[in-house]
Chains A and B, each alone.
Chain A
Amino acid sequence: MRELSYAEAIREALRQEMQRDERVFIIGEDVGVYGGAFGVTLGLIEEFGEERVIDTPISELTIAGAITGAALVGMRPVGEIMFMDFITLASEQLVNQAAKIRFMFGGKEKVPFVLRTPAGSGTGAAAQHSQSLENWFVHIPGLKVVMPSTPYDAKGLLIASIRDDNPVIFVEHKLLYKVKGPVPEEPYTIPLGTAEVKREGRDLTIIATSIMVQRALQAAEQLAEEGIEVEVVDPRTLKPLDKETIIRSVIKTGRVLIVHEACKTGGFGGELAAVIAESEAFDYLDAPIVRLAGRDIPIPYNRTLEYHAVPQVENIVEAARRLAEGRV
């Protein structure tokens, strides 16, 4: 199978959906002529024209409002917030409007849109351009939150998100854009709310999101040489969460390491840990649930500090080893 980069896979998903359904359009800052701040939408304005690939002024709040309003009258917009850090500006429309319209109005209206946004650190962009804020939106009823970790997942999940009738926050990772992987040429969907066991193992389960999936898989390779067999589970959709797959894995191994980039305190790991502890997997836990996550600091500018602000492969290896050896 041919390989595409994560960015190319997303672009292909957009193109194929826009070809299939003329209600789908793209809107955001510098998505048209510029091709997207990370090049994801390159070439689309040439193919679909500026009516369907719309460049906006710097108005995050109204970008969010615009996709809400357009969705209300039958369109299926794909908006973009250039850096997840700026989703703060759009929050009013996402949280008070898009997430709540269906419920507040008695289940009559629907707001089908996707809001794509690159998150994460590692590019030296520092504190205000490096955050991972997905957990804020997991907390809001009415929204769905998706975090693909591979090109294959990105294309399938994006197509599924576009076809979903709810507002979906689609969180990409800047460092993943160039990562390549096999991607089928035809359109395909990965159902939202399905996790994937990316690697099977017996000794412990690592639950990882976004770029941490890659790092966990690398760690698993290293640990295999030491005789420790790691199972890596990628939730793919944070909300709705595929609890069954996660619980099944924990029952199998009895030891869990949760890895995510976002700051530990108040991060998605807490939610996962509670889900596991409340489930029947509890009786199979042979060690405390461990979270490895971003330090509770803004992302620093200095390269070394930035590197050590979030979990890296060696951190995952060490944490997993301690857990597997019963030293936690």
Chain B
Amino acid sequence: MTLSPERKRELLCQMYTIRAFEEKAEELYAMGKVHGTMHLSIGMEASAVGSIAALRPDDLILSTHRGHGHCIAKGADLNKMMAEFMGKETGYCRGRGGSMHIADVESGNLGANGVVAGGIPIAVGVGLGLKMQKRDQIILCFFGDGAANTGAFHESLNMAAIWSLPVVYVCENNQYAMSLSVRKAFAIERISDRAAAYGIPGVTVDGNDVMAVYEAVKKAVDRARAGGGPTLVENVTYRWRGHSKSDVNRYRTREEIEAWKKKCPIKRFRARLIEEGILTEEEADRIRDEAYAAVDAAVAFAEASPEPSLDTIEEGVYA
């Protein structure tokens, strides 16, 4: 259960990479270089990294519209991610998917989803398929607090439970479904309490503590792999930026955002590693700088990449 120092350094590097990627994405958007919109996960790095740290490389994930972090933690190639972002032919989805629909099948990311709760029923199918083929992989399905109120959530958790499917459902509760606060959207205190309604275990953890997330998800992953069925893990976290690029944060206060920034998952983990003697300040800085440099390199790759050709516009509809 305990991770090696090497592994912990990797996790910090992943978190910095996610932060660098998201900040760069924001910058590119402000410069008018990215079409459409994007949903940034700045502040939520521990939830993505800690959850995925509990997986084997051949385990699968389903991600959300706020999924850049999931993709990176699962081992994505930054160049291809950035190229997809900018709609280029060299992107993961040949420029057809964009920010909300990145999929990296080789790394086990079955795709981000533009429909809230879109992946939750698909996870049932994936779990069913894995179980029927007697593969010992598991599927980890991310979703947000908003998705927890959809009909899909109810139907799917029930089905995963009745068939004991190898699914881990991870709810990234960042306190807001677009503009609606969880305080207004739920009559219960903890989303993980709903697990009991389906007869499965549920647990709520501090989503900004990467090790706490890791431990909770690891238990759930082991349970699923052993045939013990699904678990609902709730990572309580917070997104620093608005829901999307059109969000001007009318529904929350600057003070609230600042308060959460103080609980920054990267700062906390970095401090802890230095305290544990696993890293020095200089080494931590170096990890950070390498992460930012890698993202810069990805931007250069993406900018130099070609646009898709109009002749290929109808490709990829049917197999």
Residues of A within 8 A of B (CB): 23, 25, 27, 51-52, 54, 56-57, 59, 61-62, 64-75, 77, 92-93, 96-97, 101-110, 112, 141-142, 144, 164-166
Contact = CB atoms under 8 A, between A and B. Distances in A.
Interface string B83-121: 000000001111111000101010000110111001011
B94 A107 contact: yes
Interface stretch (B10-18, B168-176, B227-235, B311-319): B311-319
Instruction: List 4 A-B pairs, minimum CB-CB distance, nearest first.
Output: A65-B121, A69-B125, A107-B316, A106-B93
Contacts of A66: 121-122, 124-125, 128, 159
B123 interface: yes
7 contacts: A57-B158, A66-B159, A74-B129, A75-B128, A105-B93, A109-B103, A109-B111
B152 A97 contact: no
Contact of B317 (A70, A102, A105): A102
A62 B124 contact: yes
Contacts of B113: 97
B158 A64 contact: no
B118 A97 contact: yes
Interface in B170-212: none
A64 B121 contact: yes
B130 interface: yes
Contacts of A56: 159
B79 interface: no
Given A57-B158, A101-B111, A103-B317, A68 B97 contact: no
A62 B110 CA distance: 17
Contact of A57 (B114, B121, B155): B155
Nearest to A79: B125
A69 B121 contact: yes
A103 to B, nearest CB: 5
Given A57-B158, A61-B155, A73-B60, A103 B127 contact: no
Contacts of A64: 121
B188 to A, nearest CB: 22
A102 B133 contact: no
B1 interface: no
A49 to B, nearest CB: 11
Give the one of B125, B127, B152 with max A CB within 10 A: B125
A105 B115 contact: no
A166 B318 contact: yes
A112 B129 CA distance: 13
Contacts of A77: 125
Given A72-B110, A73-B126, A102-B317, A65 B60 contact: no
Nearest to A90: B121
A61 B115 contact: no
Given A57-B159, A97-B115, A110 B319 contact: yes
Given A62-B156, A109-B111, A104 B101 contact: yes
A241 to B, nearest CB: 14
A273 to B, nearest CB: 24
A27 B165 CA distance: 15
A62 B128 CA distance: 12
A108 to B, nearest CB: 6
Nearest to B114: A96
Give the one of B110, B124, B151, B152 with max A CB within 10 A: B124
Contacts of B127: 69
A102 B122 CA distance: 14
Given A67-B125, A69-B129, 18 more contacts: A59-B156, A59-B159, A62-B159, A65-B121, A65-B124, A66-B159, A68-B121, A68-B125, A73-B133, A93-B118, A103-B316, A105-B92, A105-B96, A106-B91, A106-B92, A106-B97, A108-B105, A112-B319
B162 interface: yes
A83 to B, nearest CB: 18
B155 A70 contact: no
A71 B125 contact: yes
A62 B126 CA distance: 12
A52 to B, nearest CB: 8
A69 B126 contact: yes
